[in-house]
Structure 1
Amino acid sequence: MTALLSVRDMSRSFGGVAAVQSVDLDVDAGTIRAVIGPNGAGKTTLLDLVTGFTKPDSGSVEFKGDQLVGLSPRELPSRGLMRTFQSARLVPSLTVRENVMLGAYRFTRARFGSDAFRLARSRREEKELTVRADELIDFLDMRHFADTLAPALPAGAQRLVEVARGLAGAPDLLLLDEPAAGLDDSETRELADVLRAVRTGGISMVLIEHNMALVLAVSDRITVMDAGRVIAEGVPKDVRGDPAVRKAYLGVDQ
């Protein structure tokens, strides 16, 4: 089976410090691949390299058979790849619904002129985006926040809005950077249910996460990074007991 996403020999250094070193990563369609590791392991840098926010020193990224290196981040949603960030990047002047709608704008055809004069196509597309946004807001059980301005949300809720915005673009692959940050235990369990439902719906995911309960609950396979390198890879039960993984997290041989 050809991987949906295939990263090969990805490397990047900053000021002589190797942030990512010769990393290989495959994500199969219909799966959740977790990438875990201690702070500074290079996990977010890896996502930045995959999505064009950082240029690699070497390496390749193939998505659905096409090379992504050299493309700008804004070109990726139309190819079926969306991502979230460690810190929620919501537009503060927009409501939750409007922020979610932004994720689906790749489906619109109306241009500035038609929008300015409120022509039929623009009105129709805005209605379609609103319906899609409300469906996702309901999916995340956040309807009570739909008309709330983004800055007024609790930090955990802002993370969920980012997830909804990513899903609004109907991606084939969604890259999630610490989506459980700021969530309590109950909210994290609800997020696990959401991610499993998203996978069942046909969307693959890469999950960067420190919450091991979430990782073990939803991941099909786990990649473990430390100091920019992959030190372990496998199914959750094997990775959890790997001595190299325990040493990276605990600092001692176990």
Structure 2
Amino acid sequence: MNETPLLSVHGLGRSFGGLRAVDEVSFTVSPNSVRSIIGPNGAGKTTLLDLITGFTKPDSGTVEFAGRPISGLAPHKLPSLGLMRTFQSARLVPGLTVRENVMLGGYRFTRARLLSEGLRLPRTRREERSLVARADDLLRFLELERFADQDAADLPAGVQRLVEVARGLSGGPRLLLLDEPAAGLDDTETNELCDVLRAVCAGGISLVVIEHNIDLIMRLSHAVLVLDAGKAIADGTPAAVRENPAVIEAYLGAKA
């Protein structure tokens, strides 16, 4: 892929005390592609996402999204640019239904202010209907419609993770960062997730996926970055990464 990168990460680094959690990591994400990040526990994968999305301040390096520097931007400003993420543990709002949780991701499309919401003005009602329709479309797409009216907090962990994916998609991202989306899913659910994520990418949304399920990574990804102790030890196609001796020694060999 020769397109201008959608996401460019240059020399990103972060230390915590004497520990170098992320050590001068660089990579790019092409439009309409899936970039996966793998590595042993403690390799720095989630910290890397935190640095990209502003939840943790880097000690060094820069991040550009769609050609715009985003280093230092607050996390809440990124969805309006078209960058969304999920987390290792699903962060759904208890007391809200699955549909309502998914609707939260789409509020960047609304114009109504708090006053009009309180007065229930026509614009507010129109926007709410649009959010409901968008949420229901996504729940059907992910085959979660049967859970739409249930309290999200009452669902199994694996289903909660899929709801969080739906919420991320409801924001209309150009790039969606997914932190272990297959955690808690069985083999059948993981296969279905793979099909869904392929369809998402085919629809024009690029993905960055952190995942321990190597079979999923190899089937889904266009490019794979491998971290070990905060350092990038390999970056290439799934086939090339799988045959890389350093990767086998640090990670894949331990999974055999």
Deviation at 1:251, TM superposition (A): 6.5
Matched, 1:15 2:17: yes
Name the SS of the counterpart of 1:110 in structure 2: coil
Q: Which residue of 1 aligns with 2:190?
A: 188
Other-structure match for 1:88: 90
Q: Which residue of 2 aligns with 1:142?
A: 144
Corresponding residue of 2:210: 208
Q: CA deviation at 1:111?
A: 0.5
1:170-199 CA-to-partner distances (Å, cap 9, x unmatched) read 100000000000000000000000000000
Q: 1:26 aligns with which of 3, 25, 28?
A: 28
1:164 alignment partner, one of 154, 161, 166: 166
Equivalent in the alignment of 2:74: 72
Specify whether residues 79 and 117 from structure 1 end up closer, same or farther in structure 2 by C-alpha distance, changes over 3 A only. Answer: same
Partner of 2:103: 101
* Structure 2 unaligned residues grouped into runs of 5+: none
Matching residue of 1:47: 49
Q: Quote how far apart the aligned CAs of 1:93 are.
A: 1.1
Q: What's the CA shift string for 1:132-155, capped at 9, x where partnerless? A: 000000000011100000111111
Give 2:113's aligned amino acid: R
Deviation at 1:16, TM superposition (A): 1.4
CA distance in 1, matches of 2:196, 2:56: 30
Measure, in 2, the Cα distance between the counterparts of 1:29 and 1:249. Answer: 28
Counterpart of 2:134?
A: 132
Residue 220 of structure 1 is matched in structure 2 by 222
Question: Percent same amino acid among aligned pairs?
Answer: 65
Q: Give the residue type in structure 2 aligned to 1:109.
A: R
Q: Which runs of 4+ in 1 moved over 2 A?
A: none
Aligned-partner Cα distance in 2 for 1:38–1:145: 34
Aligned mates of 1:250, 1:121 — CA distance in 2: 53
Q: In the alignment, is residue 231 of structure 1 matched against residue 233 of structure 2? A: yes
Structure 1 residue 213: Cα displacement: 1.1
CA offsets per residue over residues 191-240 of structure 1, 9 Å max, x none?
A: 00000000000000000000011101110010000000000011111111
SS in 2 for 1:87: coil
Q: Structure 2 CA distance, aligned partners of 1:75 and 1:16?
A: 31
TM-score normalized by the length of structure 1: 0.98
- Number of residue equivalences: 253
Report the CA distance between 1:250 and its aligned residue. Answer: 5.5
Q: In 2, Cα distance between the equivalents of 1:70 and 1:47?
A: 14
Distance 1:93 1:76 in 2: 26
